[in-house]
Structure 1
């Protein structure tokens, strides 16, 4: 009997192959489109990030330049006071202080021209050495040429001892300006000067406008211990134009010659209130009174300023203050809790540290500027002292000329002031607004920034 065999080799029919190829083709097309879109998105994102990075980097350099505009005072090396008089003014930093007619004098340190979206700005400022001595007057220009942002620099005048080397960023006096390309693909470079004097000086919010007296109230609540406070008339616990603090708590054990254990450490703190002669001694009650607590608006710039005079004697123990060991600071306190102000359990402003005079030249003004991310209400100003070195607690510290101010630089008016047609007003311009757009591979990076220039004009 013969064998019956079966061919077990399987295959695809033509129809099956056509369906299979069609499905594979669809998958390839979809995958290819997805890959193409992903690549395009990645390239676009990279271009956007690069354009933004370029714009931000250029804005930082521009800010550094323009913030120093008008710097005119320097210590002169070899002067009779050994270069300690920071007051010698170099008038060549002005654009045109004496053009022959006082009505058209230009005591500003800038000139500019602008179209709708491109500005050409030239500024002047001093160059200093490492010791603050005058070296030269620099003239820096920012302008756009064929879509490229250019920064150029040359010296207007210089000290006889200054040698301008090949690697100097500025051209020599009467020489050619050194030009550097800062960015390409610049679509907008618009510099807008603030309207001069639109808001006047800083707005004093404490003490009240026209007043100069204040009072420091010691805080005593367990971790804070009392100290002695007297005014310029040596009246204890009375306000005035100055407040002197003595009798600081020492966290240094003279017997063991070491800092006391952390659990035993205490600090001194005084709360700033308006000068009222009241029987109340509670810092919270006094702080809660009208005119002693503050509201700080979000995004608005404020300044705390005060002077610490030299104590009058090099033997005063406050001059034994050890930076990094002893602590002196000023900051805000919540009226109810006495703690740093918080929003949603997040501290909104930490204290600012400061030093007392460490020699006979260390006295002078201390100033701290700040903004807060959220509006703060019902807060007081406080000074905190913690002494850990052996002697500083035996000294005294005087605080005078204390002010809390609202700084107008956060609210400059940029309404298109024509600086070159109002030359006599240019010296009062104290801020500029920069708008910069840089395009990279079709994607744009945008920066908008306000830069204060406090030294522009005949006085700083």
Structure 2
């Protein structure tokens, strides 16, 4: 018989064990590093989000304070027929009221100074009760102390007999205000005043400033979608303009077929559309694209369309009640812009740059309320656009209806494009001009565990200055 041998080698050799430990060590190190990086990223993200949240919350309170800066007129209990007097102006709101008109006079309602990246802002404004009556003049201060942003409030004067509540956030007249911490870790709290603006009316775009407010409308025709309306001026002259133009002979999309009354089929429906033009007499050789006033809308500039529209039943010479002519929720009346090149709403890459604004005439002529105002801005420059009024009518009585558009205006809204220079406007050395400053800019940066959150906002304060 052969001899049987047994291999007694079992387990790992020392070399194999060392290789195994090395591999496990590398895996642990890599996994640990990944976990550490993940934890660090999570902490950094949380710190960044927290800093941003704090900065945004502080900015919201700051905007509330500054927006009311300089509010100085109030409604008072009086002896007039309605029991109220709206004429009160409280001069205690002025920060440094200096009588007379010398160059050092300061009729503003704020004071701002700065050292390094930290500003010290003080503002004044009125406090009102729930009925709009004057209660007190408040002075609010924002400042930085040991990297902590603080806000304090005190009353400069108050209405006779006013008693402050126990939880009143402002110190009483003559008291010492206590600063409330709004945020810590403040790396930057910089408040800049806009360059003084000129106190003037909004810039007129249409009608031209020398047109005396006169305009006309050109009806759109030329394709199957649009049907012309009739326009007359205040003298009843057909096709002529003025400061008001009356539109009539609207197309109705309601079919009066006795067998199946209702809305016309989609392919048969029509619109009425008119375009704003200079106060010229309509000519048969013109088209809407050649007759309308070409307008350029600048990017991020605020504009305002305003006009008066009469009630449909405002025409006393008509036999029927015109309040039935336009039906809310059914008929469509809008104002907007159309591109001369396309005839459609201005677009970029297929996306509308500005939607139309819906409006509706007041149904009761006795109650007025016919003023319509729309404010807007566009994200990019629009050229060769025409202002268009569009009427999609579905009421069966619309052909009897009339609408008068008067005092039509398109204006640039001044005071919305504020200018801030890099060095900041030295308000205290130009006190006489401070009354014309209508905005403050806040740059705030909060730091949390080495991560920062910041805001940069412009806050209008339209009431700063000698009048509201």
Q: What TM-score do the two structures reach when normalised by structure 1?
A: 0.84
* Aligned match of 1:447: 455
- 5 Å matches for 1:319-338? 327-338=332-343
* CA shift digits 1:317-374 (9 cap, x unpaired): 4699776555443222111332211100011111233454466565475443322222
* Aligned match of 1:380: 386
> Structure 2 CA distance, aligned partners of 1:130 and 1:355?
32
Contact 1:126 1:134 in 2 (8 A): yes
In terms of mean alpha carbon deviation, does 206-215 or 26-35 score higher?
Answer: 206-215
Check 1:191–1:282 CA distance in 2 against 1; reply closer, same or farther (3 A cut): same
* Aligned match of 2:195: 195
* Aligned match of 1:219: 220
Shift of the alpha carbon at 1:101?
4.1
> Structure 1 CA distance, aligned partners of 2:30 and 2:303?
61
Contact 2:199 2:436 in 1 (8 A): no
* Aligned match of 1:57: 57
* Aligned match of 2:234: 232
Contact 2:204 2:409 in 1 (8 A): no
Contact 1:199 1:412 in 2 (8 A): no
> Structure 1 CA distance, aligned partners of 2:403 and 2:162?
45
Mark the runs of 5 or more structure 2 residues left unpaired by the alignment: none
> Structure 1 CA distance, aligned partners of 2:93 and 2:140?
11
2:279 matches 1:275: yes
In terms of mean alpha carbon deviation, does 212-221 or 345-354 score higher?
Answer: 212-221
In terms of mean alpha carbon deviation, does 196-205 or 377-386 score higher?
Answer: 196-205
Contact 2:195 2:418 in 1 (8 A): no
- What count of residue pairs does the alignment treat as equivalent? 454
Check 1:131–1:152 CA distance in 2 against 1; reply closer, same or farther (3 A cut): same
> Structure 1 CA distance, aligned partners of 2:262 and 2:385?
32
Shift of the alpha carbon at 1:167?
4.2
Secondary structure of 1:444's counterpart equals strand
In terms of mean alpha carbon deviation, does 122-131 or 142-151 score higher?
Answer: 122-131
- 5 Å matches for 1:232-271? 232-249=234-251, 260=263, 263=266, 266-271=270-275
Secondary structure of 1:102's counterpart equals coil
Check 1:8–1:294 CA distance in 2 against 1; reply closer, same or farther (3 A cut): farther
* Aligned match of 2:101: 102
> Structure 2 CA distance, aligned partners of 1:176 and 1:253?
76
* Aligned match of 2:148: 148
Check 1:238–1:25 CA distance in 2 against 1; reply closer, same or farther (3 A cut): same
> Structure 1 CA distance, aligned partners of 2:363 and 2:138?
35
Check 1:147–1:80 CA distance in 2 against 1; reply closer, same or farther (3 A cut): same
> Structure 2 CA distance, aligned partners of 1:381 and 1:167?
54
Contact 2:325 2:401 in 1 (8 A): no
Shift of the alpha carbon at 1:456?
1.4
Divergent runs of 4+, >6 A: 252-256, 319-322, 389-393
- 5 Å matches for 1:49-128? 49-76=49-76, 80=80, 82=82, 88-97=88-97, 99-103=98-102, 104-128=104-128
Contact 1:319 1:395 in 2 (8 A): no
